[in-house]
Protein backbone atom coordinates (compact mmCIF):
# COMPACT_ATOMS: atom_id res chain seq x y z
CA UNK A 1 0.00 0.00 0.00
CA UNK A 2 1.42 3.37 -1.01
CA UNK A 3 1.51 6.00 1.72
CA UNK A 4 0.31 9.50 0.84
CA UNK A 5 2.69 12.40 1.51
CA UNK A 6 2.35 14.28 4.78
CA UNK A 7 1.15 17.81 3.89
CA UNK A 8 1.03 19.16 7.43
CA UNK A 9 2.62 22.55 8.11
CA UNK A 10 3.94 21.47 11.52
CA UNK A 11 5.18 17.98 12.40
CA UNK A 12 3.14 15.92 14.86
CA UNK A 13 4.70 14.26 17.88
CA UNK A 14 2.95 11.17 19.12
CA UNK A 15 2.35 11.71 22.81
CA UNK A 16 -0.36 10.04 24.81
CA UNK A 17 -1.51 11.64 28.04
CA UNK A 18 -4.72 12.33 29.94
CA UNK A 19 -6.13 15.81 29.83
CA UNK A 20 -9.33 17.60 30.62
CA UNK A 21 -11.46 19.89 28.51
CA UNK A 22 -13.19 22.75 30.29
CA UNK A 23 -16.39 23.52 28.40
CA UNK A 24 -19.24 25.77 29.55
CA UNK A 25 -18.58 25.00 33.23
CA UNK A 26 -18.19 21.26 32.63
CA UNK A 27 -15.02 19.20 32.92
CA UNK A 28 -14.63 16.45 30.30
CA UNK A 29 -11.87 13.86 30.46
CA UNK A 30 -9.97 13.27 27.24
CA UNK A 31 -6.84 11.58 25.93
CA UNK A 32 -4.33 13.53 23.88
CA UNK A 33 -2.84 11.32 21.17
CA UNK A 34 -0.54 13.73 19.37
CA UNK A 35 0.83 17.23 19.75
CA UNK A 36 1.99 19.81 17.23
CA UNK A 37 3.30 23.33 17.65
CA UNK A 38 -0.15 24.84 17.11
CA UNK A 39 -2.56 22.04 17.94
CA UNK A 40 -3.57 18.77 19.52
CA UNK A 41 -5.53 15.70 18.58
CA UNK A 42 -7.77 14.59 21.44
CA UNK A 43 -10.02 11.60 21.94
CA UNK A 44 -13.25 12.12 23.86
CA UNK A 45 -16.12 9.89 24.83
CA UNK A 46 -18.38 9.03 21.94
CA UNK A 47 -21.34 11.36 21.60
CA UNK A 48 -19.79 14.47 23.15
CA UNK A 49 -20.42 17.50 20.96
CA UNK A 50 -17.83 20.15 21.79
CA UNK A 51 -18.56 23.82 21.13
CA UNK A 52 -16.25 25.78 18.83
CA UNK A 53 -13.99 26.90 21.71
CA UNK A 54 -12.80 25.17 24.88
CA UNK A 55 -9.91 25.14 27.34
CA UNK A 56 -7.54 22.18 27.52
CA UNK A 57 -5.97 21.38 30.88
CA UNK A 58 -2.55 19.74 30.80
CA UNK A 59 -1.40 17.15 33.38
CA UNK A 60 0.68 19.82 35.16
CA UNK A 61 -2.47 21.94 35.69
CA UNK A 62 -1.66 24.59 33.08
CA UNK A 63 -4.37 25.51 30.58
CA UNK A 64 -4.60 26.76 27.00
CA UNK A 65 -7.53 28.15 25.07
CA UNK A 66 -8.30 26.22 21.88
CA UNK A 67 -10.76 26.02 19.01
CA UNK A 68 -12.11 22.99 17.18
CA UNK A 69 -10.56 22.56 13.70
CA UNK A 70 -12.06 19.21 12.74
CA UNK A 71 -14.15 16.34 14.16
CA UNK A 72 -14.25 12.63 13.32
CA UNK A 73 -16.47 10.52 15.57
CA UNK A 74 -14.80 10.80 18.99
CA UNK A 75 -11.56 12.37 17.71
CA UNK A 76 -11.18 16.15 17.66
CA UNK A 77 -8.45 18.36 16.24
CA UNK A 78 -7.84 21.41 18.40
CA UNK A 79 -5.97 24.56 17.40
CA UNK A 80 -4.18 26.27 20.29
CA UNK A 81 -5.15 29.95 20.49
CA UNK A 82 -2.77 31.31 23.11
Domains in the chain, start-ordered, CATH in brackets? 17-80 (2.40.10.220)
Residue 26 has phi, psi (to 5 degrees) of -105, 155
Burial of 13 (0-12, 13-18, 19+ CB in 10 A): exposed
Beta-sheet pairing, 13-23 with 53-57: antiparallel
Query: How far apart (Å, rounded) are the C-alpha atoms in residues 67 and 75?
Result: 14
Predicted structure pTM score:
0.78
Task: List the pLDDT tens digit at each of the 82 positions of the chain.
Answer: 565 555 556 555 566 789 999 998 999 999 998 888 899 999 998 778 889 999 999 999 999 999 999 999 899 999 999 8
User: Which residues fall within 8 angstroms of residue 62, CB to CB, at 6 or more apart?
Assistant: none
Amino acid sequence: MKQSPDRRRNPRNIQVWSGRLLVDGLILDCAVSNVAEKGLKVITETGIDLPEEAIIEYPDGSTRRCSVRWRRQNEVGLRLLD
